[in-house]
Amino acid sequence: MKKKILTVVKCCLIIFSFIATAFNTVTSIVDSIRYHNLVINWLSLMSIAPLTFALYQEIDFIYVWCNKIMSFFKNKTVNFKVSFYLQNNSDNFVNVINNNLNKVIKDCHLSFDNGSPQRFSNDMYTKFYFVTNNNLKFSVAISNDNLPSSEIETNNFSIIMDFQISYRDTSACWELCKKFREKFTSKLVNENERIDLNINLSNSNQNPFYRLTVKYVSANKIDDFRLAFSEKESLKVTLNKHSIYATSVDIQDLDRVVKEYIPLSSVN
């Protein structure tokens, strides 16, 4: 609580200083123009720079907003991976999966990429390759991990959607994943609602920011880090160097992660 109050006081002082400095600078310029004596107080003008940087460092909204703009224009490559799970006791579950896969292809306007298998069999693992009507290519891996329970054999399947996209396409890609999952599970009795999200930025040498980030002191270099935390009871988030992993049983939790995560150029 004390730290929060101190942060608020610090931000208020910085904002007040910024407004006062900006006002004095503008007033000086206006007076110079009015009296035909254009002499700019460069010292006053340059003092705005450290105040602006202090606002960037201390106020979350400004920090997030500035980095979102920079990430939008940099538009680096992102590996975007979504996993969801199916658990069912049906005897003909493989047939159900194939029927639902055909429905997804039709409803999501997908087609098989060249060389892709077109049916899931009783094999433990099948990887499909799809192309959207916007020519976005991605893979879907379906894995059959049957685990015996105490009484009956339970069908446990994992479905992993894997994309290589640009930062600007993240939201559209996430909407496709949600629609794919919705159509795929619409007529299934599913006992596992868990969804995993993994965003990897190693190809662009960036690090993810979501709620928390790492700051180093002096010139010490951070080779790796791991931050794990929970939001609400359902959402668990892990931040590593170059990647963010989030898991929840509520898809709205992951909506927020996709919307608010930011790739940073380096660990601050």
Confidence of residue 163 (pLDDT cuts 50, 70, 90): very high
The reported pLDDT for the residue numbered 140 is 92
Query: pLDDT at residue 267 above 60?
Result: no
What pLDDT was estimated at residue 268? 46
Quote the CA–CA distance of 181 and 14 in Å, as a whole number: 47
Gyration radius of the chain over CA positions: 25
Is pLDDT of 21 > 70?
A: no
The pLDDT of residue 196 is 94
Residue bearing the bigger pLDDT, 160 or 56:
160
> Using 50, 70 and 90 to split pLDDT, how confident is the model at 178?
very high
Q: Give pLDDT, residue 175.
A: 93
Q: Which region, left, alpha or beta, applies to residue 158 given φ > 0 means left and ψ of -120 to 50 means alpha?
A: beta
The H or E element that residue 82 is part of is strand 77-88
Return the C-alpha torsion angle 157, 158, 161, 162, nearest 10: -130
Integer Cα distance of 211 and 197 in angstroms: 16
pLDDT at position 126, please? 87
Beta carbons within 8 Å of 60's beta carbon, 6+ residues apart: none
pLDDT at 186: 81
pLDDT, residue 242, reads 85
Give the residue, 153 or 246, on which the prediction is more confident. 246
> Are the beta carbons of 264 and 206 closer than 8 angstroms?
yes
Give burial (CB, 10 Å; 0-12/13-18/19+) of 23. exposed
- pLDDT at residue number 204: 75
pLDDT at 174 over 90: yes
Model confidence band, residue 265 (pLDDT cutoffs 50, 70, 90)? low
pLDDT, tens digit, 9 for 90 and up, residues 32-56:
666 666 555 555 556 666 656 666 6
Q: Does the predicted model carry a pTM greater than 0.75? A: no
Model confidence band, residue 22 (pLDDT cutoffs 50, 70, 90): low
The more confident residue out of 4 and 138 is: 138
The predicted structure's pLDDT at residue 45: 56
Tokens representing 218 are 């002096």
